[in-house]
């Protein structure tokens, strides 16, 4: 198979650092991105090269999922919907929501663990402190890795449990025992159907700082633990730091000969 055909379904991500002065020797770079619970990517690791990263793989291997994850989390900073949640996660999500009828207060941490999020790792030098001061986890940081998690969280004041249970109760009151009228069922039949309409109203992206000590060069792709009492720092922690150009490869390439 020729190289042009190999790349016909691949995508290129170019991540560039713009220096305002010639000869700038700053070392800031995008090191790694780990994607969780996003479409085909239950857990995936993208280690970035200094200048250009190629996502290469067979059809349906997750290249498009990776592209969409980076776009929605780092470029669009939103627009995530129920289609973006890994399909195999929905059974656990429905079980979590189903238990809310027996709980006085809903512990949303287990739900958030099933929704899409990414961990982003940068490498920066102390000379670049003015660019990354808001990403430094402790006063003892002396340069090196900085980690940030971007995840879906309930919007301020959004009582997801109460709104879902109220919608379910209203549907069950009008349509008891799951009965249908001429083949139609009242909304919502389950939590996914509820989120189909309400996810963007109730959730938003928020960033949390990660502990650089949790970073490992190798090993399984697992979520890094958030520090205790972690507080969000907003949906756009990389403003002015990361620039991603997305280039769709041309389809149908083949050698002229």
pLDDT given at position 26: 62
Contact 26, 17 (CB under 8 A): yes
> Among candidates 253, 197, 231, 240, which has minimal Cα distance to 19?
240
> What is the rounded CA–CA span in Å between residue 161 and residue 182?
30
> Euclidean distance between the first and final Cα of the chain, in Å?
13
Going through the chain in order, the beta strands assigned E by DSSP cover 11-15, 29-38, 41-47, 52-55, 117-124, 144-154, 203-210, 244-248
Give the residue ranges of the chain where pLDDT is below 50: 1-14, 16-23, 255-257
- The answer to whether 78 and 203 have CB atoms below 8 angstroms apart is no
The predicted pLDDT at position 107 comes to: 83
Residue-wise pLDDT tens digits, 126-180 = 999 999 999 999 888 999 999 999 999 999 989 999 999 999 999 888 876 655 5
Q: What is the pTM of this model?
A: 0.84
Per-residue pLDDT at 244: 75
């Amino acid at each position: 198979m020729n190289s042009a055909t190999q790349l016909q379904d691949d995508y290129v991500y170019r991540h560039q650092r713009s220096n305002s002065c010639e000869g700038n020797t700053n070392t800031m770079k995008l090191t790694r991105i780990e994607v969780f619970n996003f479409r085909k990517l239950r857990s995936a690791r993208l280690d970035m090269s200094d200048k250009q990263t190629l996502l290469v793989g067979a059809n349906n291997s997750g290249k498009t999922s990776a592209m969409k994850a980076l776009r929605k989390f780092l470029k669009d900073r939103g627009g995530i919907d129920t289609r973006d949640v890994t399909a195999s996660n929905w059974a656990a999500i429905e079980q979590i929501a189903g238990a809310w009828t027996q709980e006085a207060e809903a512990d949303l941490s287990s739900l958030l663990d099933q929704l899409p999020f990414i961990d982003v790792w940068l490498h920066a030098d102390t000379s670049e402190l003015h660019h990354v001061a808001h990403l430094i986890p402790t006063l003892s940081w002396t340069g090196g890795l900085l980690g940030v998690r971007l995840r879906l969280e309930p919007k301020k004041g959004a009582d997801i449990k109460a709104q879902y249970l109220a919608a379910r109760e209203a549907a069950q009151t009008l349509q008891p025992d799951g009965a249908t009228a001429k083949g139609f069922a009242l909304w919502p039949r389950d939590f996914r159907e509820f989120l189909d309409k309400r996810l963007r109203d109730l959730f938003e992206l928020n960033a949390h700082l990660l502990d650089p000590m949790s970073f490992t060069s190798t090993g399984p792709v697992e979520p890094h633990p958030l520090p205790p009492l972690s507080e969000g720092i907003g949906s756009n922690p990389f403003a002015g730091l990361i620039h991603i150009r997305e280039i769709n490869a041309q389809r149908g390439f083949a050698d002229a000969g």
